[in-house]
Amino acid sequence: MAENSRIRTIEQATGRTWEDWCRFLDGVGARDLDHAQIAPKVHAELEGSVESAGWWAQSVTVAYEQFIGRRLPGQRADGRFETSVSRSTPFDMRELMDRWEQFAAGDESVRDLVVGDARVSGSERRLTWRARAADGSSLVVTSEPKKNGTASLVVTHAGLPSPEAMAAARDTWAAVAGRFLGRD
């Protein structure tokens, strides 16, 4: 069974031990259900007892799927893998995205990964740069606002075929984020 480093956080946030969660999930037949069938059961169990019940329902469901060996850390319900790299920046949300767009257009590593044109969309809550990678995976760079007026750069690479590809993508994006912020 795969270990999940988030179990302690889940226990603290939900007020339940992991053993209690496993008993509940086994009791509702979760071993024979898919992700989309498990998460609503967990959500119903959490509703009214924690803030962000939907988010915690997903966290409990993924941790359980990892615990029973159905998926590996970083693996999505569809079997593909995803990784993210996040860095704090001194920029506000708009300036961060403007700088990222300029950087991505000129950075050889990013240009080599991206097929076609990237597109930017967003709202006052976040700005998002999206692109398709040559291997068919997807790249998402988000400018996430922080309370102090600055923003975090969050790079997500999804649709990767293996844990090895996920690890390589994490290393690549950590290096790209370091170059972008002048920290390498």
94 and 162 fall within a common domain: yes
60 and 116 fall within a common domain: no
52 and 114 fall within a common domain: no
What is the pTM assigned to this prediction?
Answer: 0.77
Q: How would residue 183 be classed by pLDDT, with cut points 50, 70 and 90?
A: low
Structure tokens at 14: 């939900």
152 and 118 fall within a common domain: yes
Strand segments, DSSP code E, in the chain are: 81-88, 114-122, 127-133, 138-145, 151-160
87 and 138 fall within a common domain: yes
Query: Which residues contact residue 83 at a Cβ distance below 8 angstroms, ignoring those fewer than 6 apart?
Result: 74, 156, 157, 160, 166, 167, 169, 170, 173
CATH of the domain at 165: 3.30.530.20
134 and 161 fall within a common domain: yes
114 and 58 fall within a common domain: no
User: Which tens digit of pLDDT belongs to each residue from 6-49?
Assistant: 899 999 999 999 999 999 999 999 999 999 999 999 999 999 99
User: Which tens digit of pLDDT belongs to each residue from 69-85?
Assistant: 899 888 888 889 999 99
169 and 145 fall within a common domain: yes
pLDDT at position 77, please? 84
87 and 150 fall within a common domain: yes
Query: Which residues contact residue 108 at a Cβ distance below 8 angstroms, ignoring those fewer than 6 apart?
Result: none
Domain that holds residue 63: 7-67
